[in-house]
Structure 1
């Protein structure tokens, strides 16, 4: 029986039994995939998908960036967590996926997941650990790259993106780092919006170096020119999600 319930049951089975890899990344999942003795976080997700009848909606991958591109090509990608979403982590802040898990639950500041090839806590390797664990991690933009939304069969509703807020109209002036610093409600509005999207930005109405840096990072992540200037395109993208 396919669906999210079956996927969770398969993932939980390995977590609850405390599955540990053998020497040199020797795993059940690598043998099944046909490429053993390699980092296996995405092999594990793919294995659980196949064993639970969800291969068509989750795919079969061992390289996380390819899996991200697969979800994006299907229009099933978001910055926001949902129960059952496939979460991809970016440990290095280079916008390339390094690790993967499945979202079990979440709050405004954390996500709880099932993951393979990780460690039981922060002391070990997060992306090439020794086993399958349930983890609770912060929802940090520089740590979470994004979420793939599988179209699970109908035993449970598939994860759906959050509704897109209309957002305020572009205020008319281009916001950027100047001397003296720009100030105003329009600066505060864009800061608050980026903070709501989990970027670690202060909301003080002052366009200083921190705001400039966060705006550039946001632009780079969303395929915009990373010039630090909040014009109509950057403003619209900030409220489009």
Structure 2
């Protein structure tokens, strides 16, 4: 399911919900800093980062780049990123929030599953966030004070193809590789291109709704830009 279909809740539900369905309140969870629920949510992002592997933005981009070329099947899915997400407790949490079926994730839009997979593989899920719905992932960064307008390597970039800066209008997500300095950015994205694949892309910054800034434990400075 390539990027023209966008990473929206209707796709995540595997067709079980219409795109007009209102957002449900996230379910409460016992102790989950990734969702911002439970006792762990009381910890600051820097406290959480201090307990994680010393992963840097460079490490994240190296792993993301190594996945370039992986593509979906003829049904718009079947990638290891979708299969991984289906296996996680987080998938059941987002189902409780969004509705649909667990099986629906297998052929759902997977741009955010790719971003979440990269964070989880490197052991930094609590500062990367994990979701299959781009709007909620963008909101997670904003709720944690990690949202801004400045592109920088390793930032999670959220797009709206019409140029909206409203988080509710986010349609797609990827990683920033670099700011080209000419009104474009270089990115690595999942679920993009005509065949639905992991690809390196060049995007105009006017299509960027905003940037989420993971607090990378291996970087000397992890302050959010704005």
| TM-score bracket, shorter-length normalisation | 0.5 to 0.7
Query: Residue deviations 1:23-59, cap 9 Å, x none?
Result: 2222111111012110000000000110112211111
Matched position secondary structure for 1:36: helix
Name the structure 2 match of 1:118.
192
Name the structure 2 match of 1:157.
221
Question: 5+ unaligned residues in a row in structure 1: which ranges?
Answer: 163-241
Q: Bigger radius of gyration, 1 or 2? A: 1
Query: CA separation in 2, counterparts of 1:63 and 1:112?
Result: 22
Q: Is 1:82–1:159's contact at 8 Å kept on the other side of the alignment?
A: no
Name the structure 2 match of 1:28.
80
Name the structure 2 match of 1:136.
202
TM-score where L is the length of structure 2: 0.62
1:117/1:48 CA distance change after superposition, 3 Å: same
Matched position secondary structure for 1:87: strand
Query: CA separation in 1, counterparts of 2:220 and 2:67?
Result: 22
Shift of 1:93: 4.4
Aligned pairs (5 A) from 1:48-197: 48-93=118-163, 95=166, 96-108=169-181, 109-119=183-193, 124=194, 129-140=195-206, 143-155=207-219, 157-158=221-222, 160-161=224-225
Question: 5+ unaligned residues in a row in structure 2: which ranges?
Answer: 1-52, 87-104
Query: Residue deviations 1:196-217, cap 9 Å, x none?
Result: xxxxxxxxxxxxxxxxxxxxxx
Shift of 1:157: 3.5
TM-score where L is the length of structure 1: 0.59
Matched position secondary structure for 2:173: strand
Query: Residue deviations 1:174-213, cap 9 Å, x none?
Result: xxxxxxxxxxxxxxxxxxxxxxxxxxxxxxxxxxxxxxxx
Name the structure 1 match of 2:27.
none
Is 1:5 equivalent to 2:69 in the alignment? no
1:156/1:102 CA distance change after superposition, 3 Å: farther
Name the structure 2 match of 1:207.
none
Matched position secondary structure for 2:137: helix
Aligned-pair Cα RMSD in Å:
1.6
Segments of 4+ moved more than 6 angstroms: none
Q: Is 1:104–1:112's contact at 8 Å kept on the other side of the alignment?
A: yes
Matched position secondary structure for 2:106: coil
Q: Is 2:155–2:214's contact at 8 Å kept on the other side of the alignment?
A: yes
Query: CA separation in 1, counterparts of 2:171 and 2:197?
Result: 16
Query: CA separation in 2, counterparts of 1:8 and 1:156?
Result: 17
Query: CA separation in 1, counterparts of 2:158 and 2:219?
Result: 24
Query: Residue deviations 1:53-77, cap 9 Å, x none?
Result: 2211111111000001100000111
